[in-house]
Structure 1
Amino acid sequence: MAYRDLQQESDIDEDIRLHIEAEFQRYANGARILLNARPDAVTGLVSLADGLFIYASTVVRFLVRDKHYAVEIYDKLLQSQGSKGSHQLYERLDTLYTTILDNAFGMFKIDRKRLKYIHQVLTWFALNLDAPLSGEDLQFIGIPIHITMDVIDRLRSVFIVEYIVTTTTCMVPCHASFPQFLIDGERCQDSAYLVNSRSGNAMIAASLFKLLTSNTLPKGADGDLPHIWKSADGKWMFHVLRAKYTYELAYLLRIFVESHLEAWLRGVEPWQHHGHISKLHVVSTLAATQDWCKRHRLGDDLVARLGQIVDQNV
């Protein structure tokens, strides 16, 4: 097997050109308006990609899925990127991602409630990649199903969505560079879309504790516990350890420790979805959670209780 560095290959532009042409042929209906108005669009897109294949594949998906605005989007990309003198690897891709987000959500910036929901969905997406969630999942932590479905539908160019968006369509990125962009303050410079990792993990952890300490077990459409419950059962510690301190998180963590932690450790139903995690890892992570509580002064009684539970399970 022969490997090659595409960034060093003299024919990378030709590879990108062939890819763009093939995609425009595949989605001929979506590409027709752009190509009729800008016959040299393929050449322009090859130049914009500047050897970055991720850019080429993303921009084609963006243009064919938003065909009625494709000419306007294409012209803006040419104008904004053509004026830059820097050729850093991700600079053009970041401009493209910003354009995609603005095109999808820019009109909602005056609607604070809707934009807050949109940002929450982006936060769950960017910080929960190993367990992709859907609108059906996020409804259980207070995000309306239609909000999540709308976000997925508007971001088809960066999400893997083959057909129509349904309540169970999960947020899966086409490429890891998009969630990486969302959590990098140097790359994503619009606070409406930027996901702060520590604040985001605090929001997620608090939401998971609300779910896990609810008096009523959530039920999915099939009558079983939803995927987000299983994710919460196995991942709440992951998010706590990466979270900033908030009063809400501290309060909900205390409730969980006092009312459910021992049953959770024993794997009593419905707390049986973390069984794949070794006991050693669970105990060491609980010890780290104790340190987090101590560092943020959540109370000597809570710290002592966690220490007691850790000692009993060593």
Structure 2
Amino acid sequence: MGLLDGRVVIVTGAGGGIGRAHALAFASEGARVVVNDIGVGLDGSPAGGGSAAQSVVDEITTAGGEAVANGSNVADWDQAAGLIQSAVEAFGGLDVLVNNAGIVRDRMMANTSEEEFDAVIAVHLKGHFAMMRHAGSYWRGLSKAGKAVDARIINTSSGAGLQGSVGQGNYSAAKAGVAAMTLVGAAEMGRYGVTVNAIAPSARTRMTETVFADMMAKPDAGFDAMAPENVSPLVVWLGSTQSRDVTGRVFEVEGGIVRVAEGWAHGPQADKGAKWDPAELGQVVSGLLSKSRPPMPVYGAGS
């Protein structure tokens, strides 16, 4: 018996890297998987060759699992809706949505073009939102019809979204938005029987091989802490029925580490009870900062 026996899962961006690892891991636990991948390059440009999604489907079916390929663009509103419908048509329903698809257009802010900003925001942030919206609408319909729903959404944020990353202003903004959207989704969809969580993974993929290169080297022997497969066990568990009491959380995952991320929270405050004069705020702000926790350093900013 697998942990996901009978459950239907969509994994976006599942043609390689972490998404592929997710799809294979879900299938190994008995899930029926819709393997979504648009088949583009790292920057979102068209890529030639065969279907990355179909290749993963072939791996799953060869191992005795059930899967279908899908090439929808998650950043396209109607195609995102069609991806949800494809799961229903192929397997009779949908239980788990794993939002993983993404691209990068790395550039310092002063050099980033409007197109580079829009492309990254579209795939990561709009792509997550469009998929959440259409999946949420599907599950809300079931709930209102009196049918039991025990569904899951697992989003993909990033350490860049939690702390920022030099040269990735567009990507960091998108991933920070994903983390905030996860909290909103959890608050809104719980009434329909849906939990919403996110992961911030660290692993060796196409999107990380040019960033933090010193961390990406594969060891000659022993435990490969940066292998994409290390991220998937938590995602599989979050997609299972065992996780129904966990929602609105962001987990950092790296190697054998699972960490609960703690985001923005109210810190020290000063209340004058009246309007402040700008001239008196310097001392006030200094006092507040002396009592607060120092921020985590931005990735790539140095000491």
Normalising by structure 2, we get a TM-score of: 0.28
Higher relative contact order (CA 8 A, sep 6+): 2
Instruction: Say which structure is richer in strand.
Output: 2
Instruction: Say which structure is richer in helix.
Output: 1
Structure with higher Rg: it is 1
Normalising by structure 1, we get a TM-score of: 0.27
